[in-house]
Amino acid sequence: MNRKKEITDIIRTGLIVSCQALSHEPLHSSFIMAKMSLAAYEGGAVCIRANSYEDIKAIKEEVDLPIIGLVKRDYDDSPIYITPTMREVREVAEAGAEVVAIDATHRIRPKGELLVDMVKQIKTAFPSLYMMADVATLEEAIYAESIGFDLVSSTLNGYTEYTMTSVLPNLDLVEAMTQSLSIPVIAEGGIWDYQDTRKALEKGAYAVVVGTAITRPQEITKKFVSAMKELL
Ligand SMILES: CC(=O)N[C@H](C=O)[C@@H](O)[C@H](O)[C@H](O)COP(=O)(O)O
């Protein structure tokens, strides 16, 4: 069977767990991310979203689930940090991820490169790599589909200058995207409770990504602490 079709079928209506810890976070470790992924797998996750060559490799060895890979890297001339250039795409592909997640916002890219050119290069260099567009707005999602992305995700809504006032999770945006696009729309960003995962599916999301609420214990702890403080 076509591998892309197979992955689409695997993730349909499922939970994708994002297992990421950056260098400043307490759980920063490929070993820990691999174990987090194993826990997610045992809990029924259908796919893992992971950052960096090392983490993707470690997770691949631990669980037999498709991986949405990305490489977060900062460049001086651009605000984009999720798989900004072909260098990061190559790392994701070489680590063995089936899907690459790419910032597909309309912001300026490193060296002024164009997203449409990057997509063409990926299709030539890595024809079997599935491409997920991480966007902040409906317009960006529509554009991403038009230039050949396979999936679109609401990842960056709330994280760009022009969407900073969004209240997350922005399931209205997810709904609007599902109404305008034919490619699968993934709900991602700020999903913290079970009801929201269901609501996302009801609004037409193809699958749901949950990260922080499962894999960043420092943030989970903060939620408990602040709920308790509200009583004082
Ligand atoms: C904005 C950005 O850089 N998001 C990153 C994208 O890979 C991750 O840090 C998030 O954890 C992921 O999107 C899942 O979202 P949430 O952790 O809210 O469930």
Would you say the CB of residue 154 lies under 6 angstroms from ligand 1? no
Encoded tokens for 110: 């490193």
Q: Is 17 in the pocket of ligand 1 (CB under 6 A)?
A: no
Cβ of 55 closer than 6 Å to ligand 1, yes or no, is no
Which tens digit of pLDDT belongs to each residue from 118-146?
A: 999 999 999 999 999 999 999 999 999 99
Q: How far apart are CA 119 and CA 122, in angstroms?
A: 5
CA distance 29 to 125: 30
Residue 91 Cβ inside 6 Å of ligand 1? The answer reads no
Cα 209 to middle of ligand 1, angstroms: 9
Mean pLDDT of 178-195: 98
Per residue in 53-92, pLDDT tens? 999 999 999 999 999 999 999 999 999 999 999 999 999 9
pLDDT at 147 over 70: yes
Question: Domain extents for the chain?
Answer: 3-229
For residue 101, give the ligand 1 atom closest to its CA. 7
Give the Å distance between the CA of 156 and the centre of ligand 1.
Answer: 8
Superfamily of domain 3-229: Aldolase class I (3.20.20.70)
